[in-house]
Chain A
């Protein structure tokens, strides 16, 4: 068996393991779906109440928020999900086994992102379905299928942030707490619940230097027909650019963190 196949098999073993562990909690799926439903319902009724010039109708704001919630699910699953997962592995002593496998700590940590992201993508899709079926969210069916590859590309662009935080957790342990601030900060400057144009000018630049805003713009355009502030190709190129630049950098940082923790002897401590 060649190297790529070995590592792919090992990565799939982690995904399968995570799926088995996820499904071993009977009410987890149900509670996750309920949380999505409550978020969608909350924003539906908020949208009925809000009447601002930025949006032409309540439905337009509702659609805007639903796509934001769906993407925030993916970001939450990766950025907020990996640090506690790593912590649990370290406390349970299972991370030691991953380090001592031929697959290694870096491959295993990256693979640990896959299942939560998959669940988040499904969860985001369910959120949209709730919006469509229960609240009559108007979807642009002609362009909606294109949202699938864009969502996958967006997940790829978000992954480096999670990998970086994972590396920080292995190096300095308590770094996971930072992820909460990062997700909250992103929800403020990323344009998840309101357009970034409403932000003060001095903070607006932050929406340009991360992949979350172009992802949101593209997905909203494809799913609910929100006009783009820049060309769709430019948003697309930005996403590819962020992935291409940040993925290798984040993997390098994770490798360095693992090596550093091994030198200090703290790799299996939490």
Chain B
């Protein structure tokens, strides 16, 4: 445990260290070209209902690690499992259980509205038809975008776009949510909205990984924190 909880949370489930791993990274290595490996035989096991911080300086491999955990890219060596599922052999079910916010501002269709974007994602995420409209409405409400639901993305501020990206990561209620610098561009209300989403997801049993260069000052209690440095992931 990195530090004491900053906020008391009555709905918070207690991480069960004896439960099967939610995310298991076993001997992960990745090298870009002929450079030294950015990740070198990394082992990491995360439990359900936990909030995990992943910190490290720029360029140490945090984003690469998240991309591997997401099944976006494959490691050179090692094994990844989400609830025992392989990201490539069990791709469909793996992605159903995953939410991901990448670093940066990309991943949105500039000429679609907030609602159209979320409706498109609800179908791509295989949310059942009867739940789709509720899921879209809830996603809009959770990130405080009600007034902008019919606004086109290219007319949103950077912070509003980030809220939308975060809404997309949470709307299908994934079991593992990987957030790469999610508080970028967010104002205080935006950060509060993300904190509430994270708190709720962890309370429902999800594992949330919050990745940032340094530990953010948030109203959230991290159950575990890891430092990425020199190709290794170490408890912080």
Q: What residues of chain A have their CB less than 8 Å away from a CB belonging to chain B?
A: 1, 3, 6, 9-10, 12-14, 16-17, 20-21, 24-25, 92-94, 96-104, 108, 259, 262-263, 265, 267-268
Contacts and interface: CB of A to CB of B under 8 A. Distances in A.
Nearest to A94: B107
A16 B120 contact: yes
Contact of B124 (A93, A103, A263): A103
B207 interface: no
Contact of B107 (A21, A93, A103, A104): A93
A16 B109 CA distance: 13
A102 B95 contact: yes
Given A1-B129, A13-B124, A93-B104, A100 B98 contact: yes
19 contacts: A13-B123, A14-B124, A17-B120, A20-B111, A20-B112, A20-B116, A21-B112, A92-B106, A93-B104, A97-B124, A100-B71, A100-B100, A102-B92, A102-B93, A104-B91, A104-B95, A108-B124, A262-B74, A265-B73
Contacts of A17: 109, 112, 116, 120
A265 B32 contact: yes
A100 B102 CA distance: 11
Contacts of A103: 124, 126
A1 B132 CA distance: 13
Contact of A267 (B30, B73, B100): B73
Contact residues of A: prevailing secondary structure: helix
Given A1-B129, A16-B120, A94-B106, A100 B74 contact: no
Nearest to B71: A100
Contact of B125 (A101, A262, A263): A101
A9 B123 CA distance: 6
A101 B95 contact: yes
Contacts of A108: 124
A79 to B, nearest CB: 24
B108 interface: yes
A3 B126 CA distance: 9
Given A104-B91, A265-B32, 4 more contacts: A3-B92, A9-B123, A10-B124, A102-B92
A104 B123 contact: no
A30 B130 CA distance: 38
B126 A6 contact: yes
Contacts of A93: 102, 104-108
Interface residues of B, number: 39
B173 interface: no
Contacts of A94: 106-109
B227 interface: no
Interface string B125-149: 1101100000000000000000000
Interface in B50-97: 64, 67, 70-74, 88, 91-93, 95-96
Contacts of A9: 123, 126, 129
A161 to B, nearest CB: 26
Nearest to B94: A102
Interface string B12-35: 000000000000000000101000
A100 B119 CA distance: 16
Contact of A102 (B30, B32, B124, B152): B124
Interface string B144-163: 00000000100000000000
Given A13-B120, A94-B109, A100-B100, A1 B70 contact: no
Contacts of A25: 111
Contacts of B106: 92-94, 96
Nearest to B92: A102
